[in-house]
Amino acid sequence: MSAPRARFTLVPLALSGALLVSACAGVGGGAGNDDSGGDAGGGGALSGTPSGSLKIMGFGGEDEVGQSRVKAFTSAYPEVKVAQNKGEFDAQQFLTAVSSGNPPDLVYMDRNLIGTYAAKEVVQPLTDCVEGQDIDTGQYRPAAMRSVTYDDVVYGIPEFYIVQTNLIDAKSLKAAGVDPKAIQTQDWDALDRTATQLFEKSGTKIGRVGYDPKLPDSFPLWALINGAELVKEDGSPNLNDPKAVEALAYATSLVEKQGGWTSFKAFRDSFDIFGDSNPLTKGTITAFPMENWYVNVLRDSIPAGLQLTATPITDREGETVSTLGGSTWAIPKGAKNPTAACAWMKTMTSTETWLKAAEARMAKVKEDKSFFTGLFTANTAADEQIREKYLTAAPDAGFDTAINAFYDTLDKATALNPSPAGAEIDAAWKSAVARTLGGQDAKASLDQAQKEATTAFEKARRG
């Protein structure tokens, strides 16, 4: 904080400045001028060959997988001038653009936001787009489509597909004389014993975490493992489901038995996730549930001594489960060139384009003298063809195990149901988990979260 700098600034000023700008710009945003040179304008069937300019927000796409697909689109539609606003999706920037009547033609965001934005009518239904550009929605994984569907209407075209499995530091496990099969989520008592056995501490300093349940962000995973559905099919919150309460209490107890939350988090905060000092290479965490993209990061740590292995995450019946994440394309309300946006979505997620992306990734892998760790998309056919064509045995057996574990999880993953109060529900359960980790009873925390989320849901439902 800069005290003197803030001297004569009164609180409402910062906020009200932004509000004035927004307010002066008008609420709602009109359709604007149609910049589409294609056969259809906003609200039409969105068929035909697109032209004109295409303004995109939230898509970085700097790597070879992104660039090769952008190239696929620009080659197919040279008449379209693509303007990318590089950088991650920024909700504030996006909503301000929409409300000021100057939205992008296309936006790239997390799929879990679609419900909220669909309910607020910030993104358009894609019924015309799917029909006009003849997009085969059957090519996408059902779980991904479910997460971009709100009130039985499709609002997004899914892109990547993020699932989780247990990644394990095999070296530490072997040294401790523990079988990799002990890293499992079916038998909670056994996992508790394994985690405690692997945990190391010297005085108040943690030396190694046996099993990191990855709270708070993996709370939905623990709820899923225990059979709880945090968001019901109608989008209403179900955060204090007894099974969810039990899951949170258990996952929190794992943390408590491994140094307690304050030390545990401080220890975790010190990790270098992306470098050679990552926790699995350094032996500071023996195992944790992790996402598929991380294998590609870990690949570079083999020379540093990483010995990786993996086991599936299962529910308490022993069935493989995973939460599901990933991104989606959507067309904002008032987009000026929806035809081009629609063509972009189709091209970027088609099987043919994904194969080109895999080809680009293989070229990069060859250049780096490394190996391919898979490409996980929401397109079933693309994934199968890429796996068959490009995925060969990794020079490291542990990596093979991990990659195969992720592939085996793809069809078992489920996302939280879309909700008009998705953002508030997310915030509510995250706060609840933080409170529980801070010492509050799990039930009391989730009861409070349920109350907050229900209020938000009812308000969102009323519109």
Q: What is the CA radius of gyration of the chain?
A: 23
On the question of a cis peptide bond just before residue 125, with omega within 30 degrees of 0, the verdict is no
Type of residue found at 127:
T
Q: Which of residues 329-388 bind other proteins (CB under 8 A)?
A: 333
* Interacting span for other proteins (CB under 8 A) from 55-63, 266-274, 305-313, 371-379: 266-274
Distances (CA, A) of 211 to 51, 167, 193, 288, 395: 53, 10, 10, 6, 27
Helix (H, G, I), strand (E, B) or coil at 82: strand
Choose between 72 and 456: whose C-beta lies nearer to other proteins.
456
Decide if residue 13 touches other proteins (CB under 8 A): yes
Decide if residue 3 touches other proteins (CB under 8 A): yes
Decide if residue 17 touches other proteins (CB under 8 A): yes
Alpha helices in 26-169 (DSSP H): 64-76, 91-99, 114-119, 127-132, 142-147
Decide if residue 424 touches other proteins (CB under 8 A): yes
Decide if residue 196 touches other proteins (CB under 8 A): no
Please calculate the CA angle 238-242-247 and round it to the nearest 5 degrees: 95
Are 212 and 267 within 8 A, CB to CB? no
Choose between 7 and 369: whose C-beta lies nearer to other proteins.
7
Contact pattern for other proteins over residues 24 through 43, marking x by CB under 8 A: ---xxx--------------
Look-up of token digits 């005085």: 203
Distances (CA, A) of 346 to 32, 117, 435: 24, 21, 43
Choose between 29 and 210: whose C-beta lies nearer to other proteins.
29
Are 245 and 222 within 8 A, CB to CB? no
Decide if residue 217 touches other proteins (CB under 8 A): yes
Task: Show the tokens assigned to 323.
Answer: 């939460």
Decide if residue 463 touches other proteins (CB under 8 A): yes
Choose between 224 and 394: whose C-beta lies nearer to other proteins.
224
Decide if residue 297 touches other proteins (CB under 8 A): no
Decide if residue 431 touches other proteins (CB under 8 A): yes
Contact pattern for other proteins over residues 89 through 128, marking x by CB under 8 A: --xx--xx-xx--------------------xxx------
CB of 105 to other proteins, least distance (A): 17
Choose between 243 and 435: whose C-beta lies nearer to other proteins.
435
CB of 462 to other proteins, least distance (A): 10
CB of 280 to other proteins, least distance (A): 18
Task: Show the tokens assigned to 38.
Answer: 């294609």
Decide if residue 430 touches other proteins (CB under 8 A): yes
Decide if residue 83 touches other proteins (CB under 8 A): no
CB-count burial class (<10 Å; 0-12, 13-18, 19+) for 376: buried
CB of 435 to other proteins, least distance (A): 6
CB-count burial class (<10 Å; 0-12, 13-18, 19+) for 123: buried
CB of 191 to other proteins, least distance (A): 22
Distances (CA, A) of 233 to 410, 415, 453: 21, 11, 15
Alpha helices in 292-396 (DSSP H): 293-298, 338-348, 351-367, 380-390
Decide if residue 244 touches other proteins (CB under 8 A): no
Decide if residue 23 touches other proteins (CB under 8 A): yes
Residues touching other proteins, count (CB under 8 A) = 61
Task: Show the tokens assigned to 303.
Answer: 């020379």
Residues found near other proteins in the complex (CB under 8 A): 1-7, 9-13, 15-20, 22-23, 27-29, 91-92, 95-96, 98-99, 120-122, 203-206, 216-217, 261-263, 265-267, 269-270, 333, 423-424, 427, 430-431, 433-435, 437-439, 448, 456, 463
